[in-house]
């Protein structure tokens, strides 16, 4: 087995390869592929729901984790299958040339469901393995570095996929099939790396009764507050997020090359700032960062509401919006993972991780399906207000915008005693004067003061106050 230092580098490399796999097999090109098979908004809603709807499989993994000593080979076996499960979609023209487009479309949906079910079955096993293996000191910083390299890998692979689809001369069905084959190769190599990463034994509950295993995360007040927030956030986000690519392709008229190029540009924001975002979460805590990130997550919905029906103009308008959105997505991912790994006990850790994501995922998945059904039922509806024509897409984007703003206030209910106040974070980033507030983007580049000079956290304030009271002389 590798030493931990070497293994940490290997985990980063594996993450990069996993990102290549993801971008080649589950990129926005999937939506164009589905459209070529006759997909409607409802089909797109289902495809958008599956990544979160299948999160219930994490509970299955969490129950299993309390009955095994090691996770490695179970995780390894199911992940290998997962990396290959989409191959039949690509192989249809070769083995089933007479299969109708509708059958092909539903094959894509079914195998996508199986794909995400396997992803979510193996994810908590992997995260709990990493939570037991990686040192918690500096974990957010390490996660930020890993996220940085993953984002650059996403940029390169998505850009390569866009150029391939544009220059290869293949139609979207043949081109997408090729991307799936290539993605599977990178995905398999990613998994093989973990054969050299050591694994501590699973810390199981002493008497793993099913009810107790399932409910333990919900008894923890701090973790329960996090679960409540993630449920609301997934509801707000999934009202609009699954339909962005479909809207740009179907309503704006953007071609698949520009769409992939747009998402490639989006990854740049996360790639540049992931390392810094990891330092922020490590320094200030996860709660204040989640509040700040969700406060700005409505930006992309706002841009979509007023986007002109000119593909070229729309592309250049959305580029900076997508870059900002990518920064926020990276920050939310780092803060979410940091909170779950740091606030879940070694005992029953897998169930804590499952509870932190699966419940919210189910909420988000049902929201996506309902939103897709709404788009189908309201097909053809439109209304003009001045120079802007609103349609049924704008309704769900507006609803998502409002709910995302509300989520920023809901994030304040997260309980993380050791984190800083959000106001302290803002002061550190932008200062307190109006002139410095206007210079907010510069705050992202500033170096942070050392821990000794940083504002005290809530817990430190309480301890200081308690100690000062103990030190006061008793009155005569």
pTM: 0.70
Q: What DSSP character marks residue 252?
A: I
**pLDDT at 223 (0 to 100):** 80
CB proximity list for 95: less than 8 A, separation 6 or greater: none
Q: Cα separation of 336 and 344, whole Å?
A: 12
Evaluate whether 365 touches 49 at the Cβ level (below 8 Å).
Answer: yes
Q: Give me the average pLDDT of each 10-residue run along the chain (476 residues).
A: 88 93 87 88 87 81 79 90 90 80 90 92 84 78 83 88 88 88 92 90 67 72 83 89 88 88 81 72 75 85 89 92 86 79 72 78 86 87 75 91 89 74 63 46 41 46 49 36
**pLDDT at 471 (0 to 100):** 44
Least Cα distance to 382 among 394, 397, 365 occurs for 394
- Give phi and psi for 391, each to the nearest 5: -130, -170
CB proximity list for 462: less than 8 A, separation 6 or greater: none
The tokens for 158 are 């998505």
Least Cα distance to 173 among 163, 183, 165 occurs for 165
What would the DSSP string read from start to end of 330-342? HHHHHHHHHHHHH
The tokens for 214 are 């399932």
The tokens for 317 are 């308008």
**pLDDT at 256 (0 to 100):** 86
**pLDDT at 13 (0 to 100):** 94
Q: Cα separation of 127 and 16, whole Å?
A: 16
């Amino acid at each position: 087995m590798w030493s931990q230092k070497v293994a940490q580098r290997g985990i980063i490399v594996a993450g990069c390869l996993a990102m290549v796999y993801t971008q080649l097999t589950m990129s926005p090109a999937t939506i164009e592929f589905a459209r070529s098979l006759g997909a409607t908004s409802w089909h797109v809603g289902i495809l958008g729901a599956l990544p979160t709807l299948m999160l219930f499989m994490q509970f299955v993994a969490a129950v299993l984790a309390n009955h095994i000593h090691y996770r490695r080979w179970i995780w390894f076996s199911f992940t290998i299958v997962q990396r290959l499960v989409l191959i039949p979609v690509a192989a249809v023209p070769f083995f089933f040339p007479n299969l109708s487009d509708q059958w092909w479309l539903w094959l894509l949906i079914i195998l996508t469901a199986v794909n995400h079910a396997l992803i979510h079955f193996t994810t908590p096993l992997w995260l709990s393995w990493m939570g037991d293996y990686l040192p918690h000191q500096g974990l957010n910083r390490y996660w930020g570095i890993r996220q940085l390299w993953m984002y650059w890998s996403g940029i390169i692979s998505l850009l390569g996929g866009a150029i391939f689809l544009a220059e290869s001369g293949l139609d979207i069905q043949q081109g997408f099939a090729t991307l799936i084959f290539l993605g599977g190769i990178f995905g398999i190599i990613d998994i093989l790396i973990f054969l050299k990463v050591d694994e501590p034994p699973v810390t199981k509950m002493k008497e793993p009764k099913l009810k107790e295993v399932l409910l333990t995360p919900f008894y923890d007040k701090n973790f329960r507050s996090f679960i409540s927030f993630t449920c609301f956030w997934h509801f707000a986000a999934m009202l609009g997020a699954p339909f962005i690519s479909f809207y740009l392709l179907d309503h704006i008229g953007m071609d698949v090359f520009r769409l992939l190029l747009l998402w490639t540009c989006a990854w740049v924001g996360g790639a540049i700032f992931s390392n810094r975002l990891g330092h922020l979460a490590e320094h200030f805590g996860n709660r204040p960062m989640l509040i700040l990130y969700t406060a700005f997550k409505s930006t992309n919905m706002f841009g979509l509401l007023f986007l002109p029906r000119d593909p070229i103009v729309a592309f250049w308008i959305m580029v900076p919006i997508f870059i900002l959105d990518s920064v926020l997505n990276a920050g939310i991912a780092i803060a979410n993972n940091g909170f779950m790994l740091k606030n879940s006990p070694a005992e029953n850790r897998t169930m804590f991780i499952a509870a932190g994501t699966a419940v919210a995922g189910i909420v988000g998945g049902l929201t996506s399906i309902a939103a897709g059904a709404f788009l189908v039922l309201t097909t053809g509806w439109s209304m003009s207000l001045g120079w802007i024509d609103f349609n049924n897409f704008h309704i769900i984007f507006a609803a998502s915008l409002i709910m995302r703003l509300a989520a920023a206030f809901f994030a304040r209910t997260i309980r993380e005693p050791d984190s800083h106040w959000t106001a302290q974070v803002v002061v550190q980033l932008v200062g307190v004067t109006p002139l410095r507030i206007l210079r907010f983007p510069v705050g992202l580049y500033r170096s942070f003061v050392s821990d000794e000079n940083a504002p005290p956290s809530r817990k430190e304030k309480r301890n200081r106050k308690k100690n000062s009271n103990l030190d006061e002389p008793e009155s005569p």
